[in-house]
Structure 1
Amino acid sequence: MMSESSDVSNAVSSVKPATSYISTLLTEPIKLRVGKQGASAIEPQSIPQFFHESCARHAEKPAFVYANDPKDPNTAWTTISYQQYQRNVKQTALMLLHVGLQPRTSVCVLAFNCPEWFYAEFGALCANGVVSGIYPSSSPESVEHVLATSQATVCVVDDAAQMAKVRQVKDNLPLLRAVIQLHGPFEDFIGTEEGYYRWEDLFALKFDSALSDELARRESTVGANECAVLIFTSGTTGLPKAVMLCHDSVLMNAKIIDTGISDIRKEAEVTVSYLPLNHIAAQIFDGYMGLDNGSCIYFADRDAMKGTLVKTFLKARPTCLFGVPRVFEKMQERLKQVTANSSTFSRSAMEWARRVTLAYHQNKTGHPLKFWLASKITNQVKVALGLDRCRWRITGGAPVSTELKEFFTSLDMPLFEAYGLSEVGGAAVINRDIGNLKSCGKAFDGVEIKINEPNEDGHGEICLRSRSTMMGYLNEVEKTAEVLKEDGWFHTGDLGYVDEDGNLLITGRIKELVITAGGENIPPVHVENLVKAELPCVSNALLVGDHRKYLSILLTLKTDMDPHTGLPLDTLHSDTISWLQNLGFKYSLLSEVLNIPADVSALDDANILVQPDAKIVAEIDAAIKRANTRALSNAQKVQKFALLPHDFSIPTGELGPTLKSRRKVILEKYATVIERIYK
């Protein structure tokens, strides 16, 4: 348990005087909840202090490896040492001062992961600024919202396409002094018009001692209890809120995760950076845990989430990996397709190896020789994925199905499920028990869990408290007060309970609960997963039934995705083709299955009349009935369904940047379809 202290500022010079544990202003520090033992007793530091110490400790080790030309598979790769990393961050900090970065204002980065992302981040923090990322898929309106909310005076953009978004809204942003473009081609106004710069031009400048002195002065004023990073929420129910994380919060989360996996975590890990760096998981896993341990980061190309990630894995051969569930689901789909196309002997051997491996990990009683033989087979999969050196894999950021965890455990690549939120600084809970596929595991050292207003079964809202908890939502006093209390408890909005062994189990979200006309509270994810488990052809399922007499469900069939645009294609995925073949159909296109036009891009999705064969309808209905046999109550049984005209994707609006379903958007988009179900 933590022992709160408000006197840290007297002992540690990097902690500024504060009057409250909560703040919604960039200029207002907070009190820190420093304990007397364990992780919560670690001495507070500013991120610049931590950065310089880490770089000095790992000076000669490789920090970054990146392709000189990501589009050329035969390109040379460049390695940056920690010593070079530190020099580049200092040069970037001087650049930012030169173009007008003001203290306690933000540097926003609108770019895919690259070394310059980190240079801009740590450069801004050394100059007593704040850093915030913007999803590259953001619209100009979203870009304007983040820049305005974060009080940005500098914005770093990836390329001409991202520059165009900022240029479109810059006149509405009086604080924004400079926009710096990383990669060409460059429009004529870059480098000639005031306020627009090329990164390479600024990076080549030599700055005088006066600016270096200013940087040193700025860095000396940075407080560990001041805001360092802004993480914008997904915005599924409105405009995104800016989660304020202080220097101490970010470093604490990296350190408690390190402590929680210290037995498998090693010095000089190798990892691959591909999740957007404006996501808290990527910030902690890539940026801060890597620094502490002298890890080497390989950068994936910008099409990583569209199918090229394995190419970088094969180059890097990472020793550790973090991925949202959808990343592992895509690997699973690819492996299933490869297995389906292999010879009968190979398929049988792999199925045997998976059965033996799963039993060995779950029961701990499997025969060692059998497991050794099975590992020779499953290792071929690891080699093919570039994960043969990967000792541990963490997944989180969205619900993780039991089936997905079983699949990777059967390949001798068990997933450690982590639970957390941006508002609690990242991860708070992790499951290290391979045999326990139901829970999220136990809290990290320094994190407390409380179930608020539990019912007779001990189920209620999950509340968390630690030194990693956010300061507040920037400029949102009322919204902060709704979820964060002065005693430090953050109300997550997630429902769950803690079992007799201290494991946390999540059952749903308060805001996403489907409340039927009969007053039954239904956690949708559980019901959706039951249906998906019965239908390997289904990619996405979304439960419907708010204020209705019964539940129904929206389903999308698996199709291939365009690797360049991310849009769903008409071509059926191999899982769907196999499912249809078992029913006697030889379809290869979704339009054939649904009897709709091949190109629906110009049509209103909700008004496209889907008319599948009666046999297909009957088979889906039978699968739903099978899922209903495992429902927790009669109220949780699904009565009707509708097939949608295409799979969910980011470009079509149903998925957010981290590939989570945008439930409110989907319900609004397909309102006409839903009304047809209930007629």
Structure 2
Amino acid sequence: MSSAHSVIGSDKIAGRPASVAHLFLSRVEATPDGEAYRFPVPVDEHAADGAPGAEQWRSLTWAQTAARVQHTAAGLMSLGIEPEDRAAIAASTRIEWIIADMGNMCAGVATTTIYPSTNADETAFILANSGSKVLFAENAAQLAKAVDQRDQLPELRTVVLFDLPAERPEPAGLTVLTLAELEERGAAYLKEHPDAIRRAVDALDREQLASLIYTSGTTGRPKGVRLVHDCWAYEGLAQQESGLLRSDDVQFMWLPLSHVFGKSLICGQIATGHVMAVDGRVDRIIHNLPLIRPTLMASAPRIFEKVYNGIAGRARAEGGAKYKIFMWAAKVARDYARTVQESRLATGRDSAPLGLRLQHALADKLVYAKIRAAFGGRLRGSVSGSAALAPEIGYFFLGAGVPILEGYGLTETSAGVVVNPAEDIRVGTVGRPLPGTEVRIAEDGEILLRGPAVMRGYHDNPEQTAEVLEPDGWFHTGDIGELGPDGYLRITDRKKDMFKTSGGKYVAPSEVEGKFKAICPFVSNILVIGNGRNFCTALIGLDEPVIMQWAGEHGLAGKSYAEVVGSPEVRNLIEGFVKKLNAELQRWQTIKKFFVLPRDLDVEHGELTPSLKIKRPVVERTYAEAVQEMYAGANEA
């Protein structure tokens, strides 16, 4: 194995229980009447205070949650589902997802996660590869994916629906129940076997399979990542011990629970016992924030980029003076956050010059206070993961009083195992390892991780497991990074994404892409290209609401999105930002040519993974003609 440049972290968490199911039962015993979850429900249109389409938030205590979880677990037992059998969940983020997953864990059943956006072919592959015997399906559309591929799914016996359609489906060869009916079966089963849940949880082994989470993957079929009960018990206690989550938090959970990031935060919430508000509807985030008033939420960087672009776009639309004030305030936020961070590193104290402090106080009254209010007014931190956060975006929100706690992890490490502490954020890094995780940098710069959260391998795939997992537990992440003397980790790029130009110069595309996102408020996605070429080019997708607002103000009102982004006016606009970018880059990194995409990249066309990572090979194939044209007849050095 490659020798390390440095190693940080150690196994500090001892005496953890064998599973999150143990943590869950302990939590229920400790705070049975404490609020566990909040979730929206439709208001009966015939109620005195109701109206069609209206909804209200309801709560479950830990004891009420336990009753539903235990009935679900016992319902699975009544169906003959045994420990380590697989039960898949294909649903959006909602309270029923959590009930089903915890029911699986308390029955010793392993959860297979499926994004609701996954197509029928890949859904069938995951169900078949995992050997899932039960499918928790959100609705008839998710059920249909399994029915359409029924001949490929000999193991699947039962489908449990969260939402029952008007006409009850009766697919051949499958038993269809509602979640309520499964819980009723479980309640009856527990009358005959009252100690069934406690016995099942007591029998759990920490190395027993708990979850099969399929990597969305940027190429090829997804791989099933085997995460055992110890992975999740570790995540829960590490988040608690590190102070990332606190018992008095109110966390807004909208992340897809099919993704490892959301699942890991559920484990931390069970450990600390704080309140979690659950609603996965992305179009309701802005509406929900002032209702929930979270102290903590987690997100992907794209959300923060969209928030920033949206704020800038509204300021621009309100007129020259307001836009100038916003741009000034944005610069002050970045300067203030950067200065305070540098002061802390140099002296151990947070300080800034008097003039900058006065500017920051004024900008706070004019701009930052409104931003904090939009997030609910009491957000102490927002955890960011799954992709790189542009430092300029991080400095802006930190300076505005909405600190983003950037972290790092993979599906193969049960999500985040490195995170910035709220009391000492270092923008531009992904923080320090959680207690119990070790980090090392190999000779070629690759980040290696070891600890209880690391997967036990890829499901039925020993060859690919051996490629990334050393016998002594070190996991090869495929990312390139650096460790600072204070133990903070900085990611420089994906090992497989780095490329060398024909002139022999290495380029880290994510570094260039991150810089452009910080400069250009109109960009949604950018893909830098240049492997084996004599210069770099870029494919650029624009943020539709922001660019369409700009278009309406610049003589392009009434035109379609494709017409707008293909116009000379937008071409000139983006070219100005590319020139600004190039001024910050080494010569071999500069973008010589670019192409504005006729539509933004998306999950539906297979260009983004469900966690919003760009599938580079797919995008390059889709726009191969545009790429070829950018390099046609080129001899630039």
Q: C-alpha offsets along residues 525-557 of structure 1, whole Å, 9 cap, x if unaligned? A: 112233444433332211112222322111123
Asked whether 1:549 is paired with 2:539, we answer: no
Asked whether 1:61 is paired with 2:34, we answer: yes
Alignment partner of 2:386: what SS?
coil
In the alignment, is the contact (CA less than 8 A) between 1:106 and 1:154 conserved in 2?
yes
Residue in structure 2 matched with residue 592 of structure 1 by the alignment: 563
Alignment partner of 1:77: what SS?
strand
Residue in structure 2 matched with residue 365 of structure 1 by the alignment: 352
Asked whether 1:140 is paired with 2:115, we answer: no
| Cα distance change on mapping 1:56 and 1:190 into 2, 3 Å | farther
The one-letter amino acid paired with 1:385 is A
In the alignment, is the contact (CA less than 8 A) between 1:125 and 1:228 conserved in 2?
yes
Q: C-alpha offsets along residues 106-144 of structure 1, whole Å, 9 cap, x if unaligned? A: 111101112221111111111111012110100011111
Which residues in structure 2 correspond to 1:13-412 (within 5 Å)? 39-69=12-42, 74-190=54-170, 194-205=174-185, 206-208=187-189, 209-212=191-194, 214-261=196-243, 265-285=245-265, 287-302=266-281, 304=282, 307-342=283-318, 354=330, 356-363=332-339, 364-367=351-354, 374-378=363-367, 380-382=369-371, 384-412=373-401
Q: C-alpha offsets along residues 393-424 of structure 1, whole Å, 9 cap, x if unaligned? A: 11111011012112212321121111111112
In the alignment, is the contact (CA less than 8 A) between 1:425 and 1:468 conserved in 2?
yes
Residue in structure 1 matched with residue 582 of structure 2 by the alignment: 628
The one-letter amino acid paired with 2:548 is H
In the alignment, is the contact (CA less than 8 A) between 2:413 and 2:455 conserved in 1?
yes
Any unmatched runs of 5+ in structure 1? Answer: 1-35, 455-459, 561-570, 596-611
1:510 to 470, 473, 495: 495
Asked whether 1:447 is paired with 2:418, we answer: no
Instruction: Give the superposition deviation at 1:509.
Output: 0.9
In the alignment, is the contact (CA less than 8 A) between 2:333 and 2:397 conserved in 1?
no
Residue in structure 2 matched with residue 676 of structure 1 by the alignment: 629
In the alignment, is the contact (CA less than 8 A) between 1:508 and 1:523 conserved in 2?
yes
Asked whether 1:655 is paired with 2:602, we answer: no
Q: C-alpha offsets along residues 282-301 of structure 1, whole Å, 9 cap, x if unaligned? A: 0111x111111212222225
| Cα distance change on mapping 1:178 and 1:366 into 2, 3 Å | farther
Asked whether 1:417 is paired with 2:398, we answer: no
Instruction: Give the superposition deviation at 1:84.
Output: 0.6
| Cα distance change on mapping 1:473 and 1:401 into 2, 3 Å | same
Q: C-alpha offsets along residues 331-360 of structure 1, whole Å, 9 cap, x if unaligned? A: 222222332344666656655655555444
In the alignment, is the contact (CA less than 8 A) between 1:558 and 1:575 conserved in 2?
no
Residue in structure 1 matched with residue 549 of structure 2 by the alignment: 574
Q: Distance in 2 between matches of 1:337 and 1:663?
A: 28
Instruction: Give the superposition deviation at 1:220.
Output: 3.0
Higher relative contact order (CA 8 A, sep 6+): 2
Which TM-score applies when normalising by structure 2?
Answer: 0.87
Q: Distance in 2 between matches of 1:355 and 1:420?
A: 30
In the alignment, is the contact (CA less than 8 A) between 1:450 and 1:462 conserved in 2?
yes
Q: Distance in 2 between matches of 1:374 and 1:635?
A: 38
Instruction: Give the superposition deviation at 1:648.
Output: 1.3
Any unmatched runs of 5+ in structure 2? Answer: 1-8, 44-50, 340-350, 633-637
Alignment partner of 1:76: what SS?
strand
Instruction: Give the superposition deviation at 1:328.
Output: 1.4
| Cα distance change on mapping 1:189 and 1:358 into 2, 3 Å | closer
Alignment partner of 1:472: what SS?
coil
- Range with greater deviation from structure 2 (66-75 or 471-480): 66-75
Asked whether 1:540 is paired with 2:525, we answer: yes
Asked whether 1:436 is paired with 2:389, we answer: no
In the alignment, is the contact (CA less than 8 A) between 1:102 and 1:153 conserved in 2?
no
Instruction: Give the superposition deviation at 1:443.
Output: 2.0
Alignment partner of 1:39: what SS?
coil
In the alignment, is the contact (CA less than 8 A) between 1:464 and 1:492 conserved in 2?
yes
1:488 to 460, 473, 480: 473
| Cα distance change on mapping 1:488 and 1:545 into 2, 3 Å | same
Q: Distance in 1 between matches of 2:174 and 2:564?
A: 56
Alignment partner of 1:381: what SS?
helix
Q: Distance in 2 between matches of 1:150 and 1:429?
A: 29
The one-letter amino acid paired with 1:593 is V
In the alignment, is the contact (CA less than 8 A) between 2:27 and 2:273 conserved in 1?
yes
Residue in structure 2 matched with residue 466 of structure 1 by the alignment: 451
Alignment partner of 2:42: what SS?
coil
Q: C-alpha offsets along residues 547-572 of structure 1, whole Å, 9 cap, x if unaligned? A: 22322111123313xxxxxxxxxx94
In the alignment, is the contact (CA less than 8 A) between 2:254 and 2:278 conserved in 1?
yes
- Range with greater deviation from structure 2 (401-410 or 372-381): 372-381
Identity of aligned residues (%): 29
The one-letter amino acid paired with 1:415 is I
The one-letter amino acid paired with 1:310 is I
- Range with greater deviation from structure 2 (438-447 or 167-176): 438-447
- Range with greater deviation from structure 2 (231-240 or 509-518): 509-518
The one-letter amino acid paired with 1:509 is R
| Cα distance change on mapping 1:90 and 1:620 into 2, 3 Å | closer
| Cα distance change on mapping 1:73 and 1:387 into 2, 3 Å | farther
Instruction: Give the superposition deviation at 1:316.
Output: 0.9
In the alignment, is the contact (CA less than 8 A) between 1:315 and 1:386 conserved in 2?
no
Q: Distance in 1 between matches of 2:183 and 2:442?
A: 52
Q: C-alpha offsets along residues 301-345 of structure 1, whole Å, 9 cap, x if unaligned? A: 53x1xx321112122111111111112122222222332344666
Residue in structure 2 matched with residue 558 of structure 1 by the alignment: 543
| Cα distance change on mapping 1:545 and 1:371 into 2, 3 Å | closer
In the alignment, is the contact (CA less than 8 A) between 1:191 and 1:197 conserved in 2?
no
Alignment partner of 1:474: what SS?
coil
In the alignment, is the contact (CA less than 8 A) between 1:416 and 1:434 conserved in 2?
no
Alignment partner of 1:412: what SS?
coil
The one-letter amino acid paired with 2:585 is A
In the alignment, is the contact (CA less than 8 A) between 2:291 and 2:376 conserved in 1?
no
Q: Distance in 1 between matches of 2:603 and 2:565?
A: 22
RMSD value, Cα: 2.8
